[in-house]
Amino acid sequence: MQFRSYADLARLLAASADRLHESFDIVVGIPRSGLVPASMIALLHNKPLADLDGFLSGQILGRGHTRAHVDWSTDPSDYRRVLVVDDSVNHGATIAEARTRLAGLDHAIEPTFLAAYAYERSTDLADVILEVCSKPRIFEWNMLHAWLPERACFDLDGVLCRDPTPEENDDGERYRHYVSSVVPLALPSRPIRRIVTSRLERYRPETEAWLAKHGIEYQHLHMLDLPSAEERRRQGAHASFKAQIYAADPDSVLFVESEAAQAASIARKSGKPVLDYGNKCMADPSQLTLAHQVQLARRLSTRVRQGVARRIRRRLGGAGGGLSGHRRR
């Protein structure tokens, strides 16, 4: 699973700046996702910016108090070299439509079509490709509105809403008030396949009411069936509970988890990719953090030592002795 964050995109555009320098007069973003890299490019190169619909109707976006490198015209017909930007290209339908619409302008332009990311077989569908990014792939800026929610498990607290404060997390009336009134952080526009939360089952009515209130659709809501938050902490059941549900569903291709340690644990226990949503990076089981690699290496080393000791004991036992001086029976 390939994941690209806002930070990844910003680094890519900065590293590619020399490829674009002075090759365009205006940046035109294809709504909505293309406006993200288009805005970054326009700011990086201090060029005027327009969205595709605005440019076609004779409008460009204002620059606020930003100082222009040269005087900017407010008339799109004054611009010839046009950089048309989308975040990615797959089948090329969106860029093809933009080409057709721009070809209908009354004035002549020289468009260059740029996609920040492209699938391996799509590199010829735009004039400039900044990075080849294989499938499956998700982008931070549109992950809640593309295909992902319908094929993923989502944590609730820390993803769809903030975590409770220590004062709110009393497993009582203050917590119940938090569950009912917390402001959403993210509103997916597609139904989520599975919401998997460490909230206790007894808060299901308030949780379901909150999800309905904010229009968050889902197929399944999984909650911990334990008597208290204290028992949940005693068992340390958070990651194991989530990993079990995730691993059992072959149609779930990603788990979106808010807490880094849990994300790494879910990845290890399920053997499937997990997005560390707090740090905006993948916690793939094959790409664990250095700390977890060291931990796993220590465990392996311990098992190896124990295995060698067992073999030695068996040999000594078979020879009539043992490490403790007693024959094994």
**Architecture of domain 148-282 in this structure:** 3-Layer(aba) Sandwich (3.40)
5 pLDDT band, cuts 50/70/90, is: very high
Number of neighbouring beta carbons within 10 Å of residue 48:
21
User: Is it the case that residue 309 has pLDDT exceeding 80?
Assistant: no
Tens-digit pLDDT profile for residues 72-109: 788 888 899 999 999 999 889 999 999 999 999 988 89
Residue type, 210: W
Tens-digit pLDDT profile for residues 114-139: 999 999 889 999 999 999 998 889 99
Three-class DSSP category at 4: strand
Q: What is the pTM of this model?
A: 0.79
Tens-digit pLDDT profile for residues 187-217: 999 999 999 999 999 999 999 999 999 999 9
Residue type, 206: E
User: Is it the case that residue 167 has pLDDT exceeding 80?
Assistant: yes
**Spatial CA neighbour of 195 closest among 226, 225, 160:** 160
User: Is it the case that residue 63 has pLDDT exceeding 80?
Assistant: no
Report the chain's mean pLDDT, rounded to a whole number: 87
310 pLDDT band, cuts 50/70/90, is: low
Residues 148-159, mean pLDDT to the nearest whole number:
97
Confidence at residue 286, expressed as pLDDT on a 0 to 100 scale: 58
Task: Report the alpha-carbon distance of residue 85 to residue 116 in Å, rounded.
Answer: 8
β-bridge partners, 138? 3
Domain 2-138 and domain 148-282, same fold? Reply is: yes
Confidence at residue 262, expressed as pLDDT on a 0 to 100 scale: 94
User: Could you tell me if 195 and 169 are in contact, meaning their C-beta atoms sit under 8 angstroms apart?
Assistant: no
22 pLDDT band, cuts 50/70/90, is: confident
* Domain-wise residue ranges, the chain: 2-138, 148-282
285 pLDDT band, cuts 50/70/90, is: low
Confidence at residue 135, expressed as pLDDT on a 0 to 100 scale: 86
Confidence at residue 242, expressed as pLDDT on a 0 to 100 scale: 97
20 pLDDT band, cuts 50/70/90, is: confident
* Measured CA distances, 328 to 195, 252, 306, 310 (Å): 52, 49, 17, 12
Confidence at residue 317, expressed as pLDDT on a 0 to 100 scale: 66
User: Is it the case that residue 329 has pLDDT exceeding 70?
Assistant: no
Confidence at residue 306, expressed as pLDDT on a 0 to 100 scale: 63
The answer as to CATH 3.40.630.10 being correct for domain 2-138 is: no
Tens-digit pLDDT profile for residues 216-275: 999 999 999 999 989 988 888 899 999 999 999 999 999 999 999 999 999 999 999 999
